[in-house]
Structures are given as C-alpha cells and as structure tokens.
Structure 1
C-alpha cells in the first residue's frame, strides 16, 4: 500500500490506546472486521506487526511506539486545519497590513483611515507603500494587502471597488500677480507649470487630453511627488493642476487658491484593489470595508460641477 488516509491514522491511535481490536472498533464507530482490515494495511505499509497479542492485550512494537507521537501530531494538525476560522475581532487582533497608495491618497484619505483604525483596532498597524508598477506583483504575493488610487497597471484578475469620483483643480499662489479667480486659455499655455512625474496615475492623463487639442504647457519644475507642491506654488508664480481634493487641502493649508480653468477635464474613479487569494480573508474584508466607509465620508470642498462641458472654453 502506497498511501495512508485519515482513517488509518485514527485507527492506529485507537488500537494503541485500547490495546484491543473490539474496543478500538467501538471507539472509532467501525466494525471489528473493518478495523482488522486497516490494521493489516498498516502492517503492510510499515513492514512491521505494529501490535502483537500478549496476555495484557495487543501491545505496540518498538516501531509503533516511535510512530505514536508523530501520528498524534499529524492528527492534531489535521483537526486544526478543519476548524473554521474564528470571527475577526479588530479590537483584539494584533496584525500589520500593507496598503499601496498614491501621494494624494496619503494626504487626503490616509489620515482619516488611520484615525479609524486606531479607534477600532489599537493593535493593528498600517504599513504604507507607494502605488507603483510593482503593486500588481505585491498584491499577488501578499506583500501588499490592498492598493488604492487610480492606476492603469492593475488590470483583469483583481477585485476592485470604486471609492469615489475625483476631478482636477488648478492652484496658484493667493497673491499671484497675473491670475485672479480664473485662468484664460492663453495663460494656461504661457504661465510656467510644475510637472508631477507620475506615469501610472490619473495625473498622467492631463497632458494626453491637452495634446489631443493641440495645447502644450511650459514646465519650469519637475517633481516626483505632490508632497512639497503646496509650498512650492504658494511661494512662486508657478501653476499646478492637481486632484480636486488635494487642491482643497492646499488651499486650506498652503497659501494657495483654486482658480477656474479654461479647460475642463473629465472626472476619474478612485478605486481599491485586492487579489483573489485574500478576497475571503476576514482581516482583508474588514480593512476594505473600513477604507470604503472612510472614502465615502471624505469631504469635497470644491464640487465637480462642470465635468460634462466641452473640453475647451473660449478665451
């Protein structure tokens, strides 16, 4: 016999404990003949009698004695694997989650999310990584539990859930010498801009849409992140086009103002993504639910009221 199954292991332990085929069969709930057949199969598999008749009942051979702790451990592990996962209680769980997200998400959504996590799950920590070309692989391998933002890299094969719609805003210094509340088409092309060098996010669609209309911007600064953008714009005459919610934060904190653009960009969907491997994981389910709840309550200081207007207004 080349393989043993769970029944063989349970009968082996029952024989070791009872030292009697009849009592072993009663303990397992099988007929005596069935137990005898299994014992014969065990003897053939191990090439050893395993249990021999004595005046004190069926006693284990040295080979059987060596097998007993191993078989019991195997049965214990198998029994544990068959137990349903306990209910996820965030207040009692100690665990670390890794979330990949954009700079914008880190500045708009993350502070509110962390506040909720620390309230509901004081022993859960959040490790934040950047949304990048590596994120797809990280979700597959489990290096990341969740990804958030707008990305063209995460395609079919992943779960996704829409969190909210986002648009774009233009920010300039509050005391900008040439731009008041509205930018003209000429100013859009003549003023010097800050370019955020993000290739796989929603920000990359701005120049694509402008180029389709034959419009180009003049860039004076290239930066890889949004993190210092508010202060850069506030202390210069530079112009930047940013996600709407981020623009509202900059306007409240960084000495900039939001001005109307002569170009209307369509809104885009910010989503959260996860892999099928962790779709049913109770912790991942809880985290996704909390992210969705937090995003649904994220304030929008400036509404997206003109996303259906033509792409270019007359200057």
Structure 2
C-alpha cells in the first residue's frame, strides 16, 4: 500500500536534507535557523514515518543509512523543483525556454514592428515564437484569460486588471495614387471633403472623429470602400481614385512600394496615441517582462 502523502509533514524533508548535507545536528540547526532539539524531534518523526533509523553515529558525525541515501537523492531533486517553482524571482532563460507569445495588434504594427521583434528574439533564442492576433471584439478578454500577452491600441483600457503604458504617438497623413485626376502634390480641405475614401471598419474610424476635427458635426466621409486592414487601405488607394487616411510611419514605409502620394492632413490634427496593454496578473512573470522590453526596443517611436 502506498503511503498517504497527506499524512506526512513535508516540513520534515528540508530538515532531513540539511542533516544529510551537514552530518551534524548542530550545523543543520544553524543552517535552518532552528534549535538543535527541534531538528532532533523532526528526525525522530521522519524515522517513524519511513520506518528506518536514517542515521548512525560515527567519529565523523551522523552517517546516512542506505535507506537515507536513497531517500535523499529523491528528496533533494523534489526540493529543488519546488524551490524553483515557488521562487518569487524565477529565472527566465530565453535560450532554453519554449513559448509562443501572443500579441493583439492591427497590421500597422505587424508591418512596422514584427520583423524587428522576431530578429531581436532570434538573437537570444531559436525556441521562442510570436503570434499576432487580430484586434477584434472581445480582445481585452483574451488578455484577462491569459490567451494573449500584450495588445496595442489607440485608447487606454478602463479595466483595472489591465496595465497600460503610453509608448508613442502617430501623425496622420492622406495617401492618393500617383496620377490621381484631382490630387496632384497637395490636398485642400475641399478636395478632402469631396473625395471618395477607402476606410477601416467602424471601430477604427472612431479613433479619428473627423466631423469634430473639421468642425462639421455630423459630416461623414464619402465612403467608396471599406476594408479590414491598413495594407488593404493602401492597396485600394494605389489602384483607384479613392484616398485613405493612414499613419505617417506606415505611409513612409509603403508609399514607395505602392507609388502613392503622401499628403499632409488638410487641417491640423492631434497625433494619435499608441498604448501597450497587458494583464496585471502577468506583470511579474520574467518571460513576460523580457518580451515587453524587446517590444519597447523595437517600437518606432523612440
């Protein structure tokens, strides 16, 4: 019949290990911060549990019995595992760790950050990966349920269980194709108001309340197409007479490839903030903190 572990005082095991390692009750007691009688009493209780004397006295101190030697090899490994698992400051070694980090973001950040991030990770590890999750309804719950590690958004969350850091801001510009019949190197407010636009879904458009910015309550863009991501915005603008409003850094990256004009926004507009968001429950996780620093190092806002 196997021993019922619930009947064993596991506090006896560190005492036993200390006596094996120090071979004297007095030294073991000093190491443990216990009195010698308390160490002796603990050993006696463990002897009764395992049914063995565990130690015999000799001129050089206490010598483990064969049963104690075998027990120590197993106990030592178990104590090391428990110590590592319960360590308030566990060590994270990217060279040996295996993990796939998940980041919620729109493709704007995929284009500007993901390549640099993967390269930075691979300098230290070949076993860590990154998966970008699309920013869709309910993404904050992914963070709270440990289904995602980080997220980027233009608005700070209102949930106290999520931590947030403002990491940068992005200016907005308008792009139009080279050879656009009406827009040639400059963009007036009237041209912007009259043009057809390719836009993102409604949630993303709320980040840019144009009717308020332009002082025209209720005004709406003439939407010629709605797409799901920034890359499609650029692609549609490059092959049609629709114009698109996009972040400046993205325009700088993609305009040459898509042969686009990059035009200042027709009226002054505040830059859009970018926030990094993560669950407070993961804030002390060493792997999580390691990836956060990598992310911050790779962001283009420095």
**Structure-2-length-normalised TM-score:** 0.74
Q: Distance in 2 between matches of 1:109 and 1:203?
A: 24
Per the alignment, do residues 51 and 116 of structure 1 end up closer, same or farther by CA in structure 2, a change over 3 Å counting?
Answer: closer
* 1:4 maps onto 2:9 in alignment: yes
Greater shift, 144-153 or 254-263, is seen at 144-153
Q: Distance in 2 between matches of 1:290 and 1:97?
A: 12
Q: Distance in 1 between matches of 2:267 and 2:50?
A: 87
1:258 to 257, 262, 286: 262
Following TM superposition, by how much is the alpha carbon of 1:218 offset from its aligned partner in structure 2, in angstroms?
A: 0.9
Q: Distance in 2 between matches of 1:241 and 1:133?
A: 23
* 1:161 maps onto 2:165 in alignment: yes
* 1:276 maps onto 2:286 in alignment: no
Q: Structure 2: where are the runs of 5+ without partners?
A: 1-5, 58-64
Q: Structure 1: where are the runs of 5+ without partners?
A: 299-315
Aligned to 2:244: 240
Aligned to 2:90: 85
Q: Distance in 2 between matches of 1:249 and 1:259?
A: 14
Per the alignment, do residues 49 and 3 of structure 1 end up closer, same or farther by CA in structure 2, a change over 3 Å counting?
Answer: closer
2:271 to 267, 270, 291: 267
Q: How many residues are paired up? A: 284
Residues 5-154 of structure 1 aligned to structure 2 (within 5 Å): 6=11, 8-11=12-15, 25-26=25-26, 28-29=28-29, 33-35=37-39, 37-38=41-42, 50-51=51-52, 74-81=78-85, 85-86=90-91, 88-91=92-95, 93-153=97-157
Per the alignment, do residues 13 and 77 of structure 1 end up closer, same or farther by CA in structure 2, a change over 3 Å counting?
Answer: same
Cα RMSD for the two superposed structures: 4.0
Specify the SS of the correspondent of 1:109: helix
Aligned to 1:228: 232
Q: Distance in 2 between matches of 1:283 and 1:266?
A: 35
**Structure-1-length-normalised TM-score:** 0.71
